[in-house]
Amino acid sequence: MKKMMMVYLVLIIAFGVYVFMYRMDDKRSSAWPDGGLHGSIGENYVMVTFQSGMEYWKNIVKGFEDGGDALGVSVEYHGATQYDVQEQITVLEQVIAKKPAGIALSAIDSDALTATINKAVDAGIPVVLFDSDAPDSKAYSFLATNNYDAGVAAADKMAQIVGRQGEVGIITQSGQQNHSDRTSGFKETIASRYPAMSVVEVKEGKGDAMIAKAAAADMLGKHPDLKGIFVTEASGGTGAADAVIAANRTGKVKIIGFDTNKETLDRISDGTISATIAQGTWNMGYWSLQYLFHLHHGLTVPAPTLGNDVSPLPPRVDTGITIVTRENVKDYYAK
C-alpha cells in the first residue's frame, strides 16, 4: 500500500513539473511570434516614482514607453505626488492589487519600501528598481547611475574649476541611497586626491529649491572663503545658484549640480552654475521595461522560478553619466 502511495505521489509530482514546464515553454514561445520578441497589448507594465510631476522623470518615462512600443505591450506611469514615503507605499500597494506584468520602481526610502517590494515579488510580480535602490529587497535588478562614481566625477570637476584648493560644501537629500553615494564619492575623493581642499559642511536640501537656497545662504555666511558647492539633485542646484547671486558671489563660488532640467541648463548657459552631472535617464526606463518583459516571459537564464540562487538579471547596471558645461549645454536642451 505504501509503495502504491509513493508511486502515485511520484506520478503527481512528475505531472506537476510537466505542466509547469509546459506553461513556461508556452509563455516563452508566446513572446517570440514569427521569430521576433513581442508581447501583447494586454500585458501591462507599471512605473512608480515619487514627486511624480518632476521634470527629471520625463526622460525615464519616455524610455519606458519606447520599450513598451518596441515590444507591443502597454505601460502606465504612477507616483506619489509629494516627497512622502507613505504615499508611495500606498501607490505601490494599489499597483500590486491590479497584478501587472511587472513593476519598475524608484524607491523614495530604501528601508521603508522593502516590505512592499517583497510583497509584489512574492505575489509573482517581477520588480526592477531604477535610480534609487532598496538593496535589501527581493527586486531583481537595479538600473542607475553609479552614484559613487558620479560623486567622484563631480569632485574632480570641482577641483579643476576651483584650482585644486579651498573650502567646498555639499547640499544633499537624506534618506536615499543614491544621494548618500554621491555625497560619499565627492567627500572621499576630495579627501584622498586634493589635500589643499576640504569639505567644510554637508547640509540638507530636501529636493526643494527654496530649502536648498536657505542652506546655501547659511553655508556662505558661515564660510566666507567658500569656493564651491556640490548639490546632489536638480532643484537644489538652482536654489544654491539663487543664494550665490543674492550674496553677490556669482563666479566666485562655483556650483556643480545634478541632472539636466531646464532651469539647471539655463543657469549653466548664463554662468551661474558651472557644471551638472547628466545621467543616462532614458536607459533607466528602456532597460527596466526590457528586463521586466524578460522576467514575465521566463526568457532569462536561469529562469527566476526554478529555485536557482543565481540572479536571472545583472544585479546592478550602470546607465552612465556625462558632465555638462557651457561648452556642450546646447546638446541637452529638449529637441
- For the chain, the structural domain boundaries read 44-145+281-300, 147-278+325-332
Amino acid at 246: A
Beta strand pairing call for 166-172 and 321-324:
unpaired
Which of 109-114's residues contact partners 24+ apart within 8 Å by CB, and which partners? Answer: 109/85, 109/175, 109/176, 110/134, 110/135, 110/136, 110/175, 110/176, 110/177, 111/136, 112/85, 113/85, 113/88, 113/89, 113/137
Residue 49, SS3 per DSSP: strand
Burial class (CB in 10 A: 0-12, 13-18, 19+), 215: buried
Q: Which residue, chain included where needed, has cell 584648493? A: 165
Burial class (CB in 10 A: 0-12, 13-18, 19+), 163: exposed
pLDDT of residue 6: 54
Distance CA 129, CA 143 (A): 6
The closest of 281, 268, 230 to 56, measured between CA atoms, is 281
End-to-end CA, the chain: 76
How many Cβ atoms sit within 10 Å of the Cβ of residue 249?
13
**What pLDDT tens digit does each residue of the chain (335 aa) get?**
555 555 444 444 444 444 344 444 444 445 555 556 788 889 999 999 998 988 889 999 999 999 999 999 999 999 999 989 999 999 999 999 999 999 999 999 889 999 999 999 999 999 999 988 899 999 999 999 999 999 999 999 999 999 999 999 999 998 777 899 999 999 999 999 999 999 999 999 998 999 999 999 999 999 999 999 999 998 899 999 999 999 999 999 999 999 998 999 999 999 999 999 999 999 999 999 999 999 999 888 766 555 556 788 999 999 999 999 999 999 998 75
CA 184 to chain centre: 17
Beta bridge partners of 75: 45
Cell of 48: 512608480
Cell of 175: 534618506
Report yes or no: 234 and 258 within 8 Å, Cβ to Cβ. yes
With the C-alpha atoms ordered 189, 112, 92, 208, is the resulting torsion angle positive or negative? negative
Cell of 264: 539647471
Q: For the whole model, what pTM was predicted?
A: 0.73
Superfamily of domain 147-278+325-332: Response regulator (3.40.50.2300)
Report yes or no: 102 and 126 within 8 Å, Cβ to Cβ. yes
Beta strand pairing call for 127-130 and 102-105:
parallel
pLDDT of residue 23: 45
CA dist 150 to 117, 184, 185, Å?
27, 10, 7
Cell of 1: 500500500
Amino acid at 226: L
Yes or no: is domain 44-145+281-300 CATH 3.40.50.2300?
yes
pLDDT of residue 10: 45
Distance CA 266, CA 238 (A): 10
pLDDT of residue 300: 83
Cell of 312: 536571472
Report yes or no: 325 and 277 within 8 Å, Cβ to Cβ. no
pLDDT of residue 213: 97
- Establish whether domains 44-145+281-300 and 147-278+325-332 are of one fold: yes
Distance CA 234, CA 259 (A): 5
Residue 87, SS3 per DSSP: helix
Beta bridge partners of 324: 276
Burial class (CB in 10 A: 0-12, 13-18, 19+), 251: exposed
pLDDT of residue 62: 96
Indicate the angle between helix axes 177-193 and 147-162, nearest 10 degrees: 40
Distance CA 81, CA 77 (A): 12
Distance CA 334, CA 125 (A): 34
